[in-house]
Amino acid sequence: MSEWTIYHNPRCSKSRLALEHLRNHDIEPTVVKYLEEPLGAVTLDSLCRAMAIEPLAMMRTKEPLFKELGLSAKDERPRAEWLKIMADNPKLIERPIVVRDGQVVIGRPPERVLELL
């Protein structure tokens, strides 16, 4: 039996749709509301590494908070600093993120979660 986890924001339509896709396939994942249960830098790093992406690729760079914090996608920051920024500001984390047995995808578009079936 597979273990599924979705890092979910219930206020996000894409996140809700991704969860619906999973449930339509009789998958009831562990739901982590990451705005209420923030992810640490270690967890974020492990998710990035599982997807073979840099932390910036998992950030919502168009989120107003990104600009309010004085950030730019062109910033050259150490990996650990980007991870800390996301850990401290979970609103900047792209959503949803779905994990199945160590495989990870960002559900943008939501149908991407079906790649893990």
> Is the pTM higher than 0.85?
yes
Torsion sign (Cα): 14, 41, 34, 36? negative
Q: Which two tokens stand for residue 84?
A: 């800390």
CATH number for the domain that contains residue 25: 3.40.30.10
d(CA 105, CA 36): 21
Strands 97-100, 4-8: parallel, antiparallel or unpaired by DSSP?
antiparallel
Residue carrying the six token digits 């597979």: 2
pLDDT at res. 1: 61
Q: Which of 12, 50, 51, 114 is catalytic?
A: 12
Q: Domain range for residue 14?
A: 4-116
Query: For this structure, is 48 an active site residue?
Result: no
Count how many domains the chain has.
1
Across the chain, which has 117 residues, the per-10-residue mean pLDDT values are 91 96 97 96 98 97 97 96 98 97 95 94
